[in-house]
């Protein structure tokens, strides 16, 4: 059971508005579509300090990742070069608590695509 995790205490303020601001900064306030970008993340993080995520947006020039429950929402930006075979990438990120991971792609035509995935960060469970 998660009977003694001292490190992660709930009650952090909501940082969602910071994320909205960061997204606006990336898109210049343009509307974002959906459906042409996918984000793969675990439903439950095995470890909030290293959560595997993958993004894929065919036709993207760049993809930027946010975590809306972290004190600083920005996570990473992938810019794809001429020898990039697919507009996809995987990495591992830190999530301070249960929250949404947000991926926004800037497409080659200048439009934007967005997708979110909720990741549960738990302090522990009990076993059978």
Residue 82 burial (10 A CB sphere; 0-12, 13-18, 19+): exposed
For position 58 contacting other proteins by CB under 8 A, the verdict is no
Q: How far is the CB of 29 from other proteins (least distance, A)?
A: 21
- Binds 58: which of other proteins, Mn ion, none (CB < 5-8 Å by kind): none
Least distance (Å) between residue 113 CB and other proteins: 18
Complex with Mn ion: residue 82 or 128, whichever CB lies closer? 128
CA 43 from chain centre, in angstroms, equals: 13
Distances (CA, A) of 41 to 31, 67, 90, 116, 121: 24, 12, 10, 10, 12
**Pattern 91-110, binding to other proteins, x per CB under 8 A?**
xxxxx---------------
Contact window for other proteins (CB under 8 A) among 13-21, 27-35, 42-50, 104-112? 42-50
The answer to whether the CB of 5 falls within 8 A of the CB of 123 is: yes
Q: Is 35 in the site for other proteins (CB under 8 A)?
A: no
Residue 3, SS3? coil
Interacting span for other proteins (CB under 8 A) from 13-21, 28-36, 85-93, 106-114: 85-93
Residues 6+ apart with CB under 8 A from 56: 37, 38, 39, 40, 86, 87, 88
Tell me which residues touch other proteins (CB under 8 A).
Answer: 1-7, 9-11, 42-44, 46-47, 49-52, 54, 67, 70-72, 74-86, 88-95, 120, 122-128
């Amino acid at each position: 059971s998660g009977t003694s995790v001292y490190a992660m205490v709930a009650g952090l303020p909501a940082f969602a508005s910071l994320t909205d601001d960061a997204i606006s900064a990336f898109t210049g306030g343009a509307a974002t579509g959906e459906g042409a970008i996918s984000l793969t993340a675990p439903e439950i993080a095995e470890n909030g300090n290293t959560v595997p995520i993958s993004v894929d947006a065919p036709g993207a020039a760049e993809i930027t990742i946010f975590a809306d429950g972290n004190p600083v929402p920005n996570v990473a930006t992938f810019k794809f070069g001429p020898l990039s075979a697919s507009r996809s990438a995987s990495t591992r990120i830190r999530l301070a608590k249960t929250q949404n991971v947000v991926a926004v792609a800037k497409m080659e035509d200048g439009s934007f695509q967005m997708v979110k995935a909720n990741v549960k960060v738990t302090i522990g469970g009990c076993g059978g």
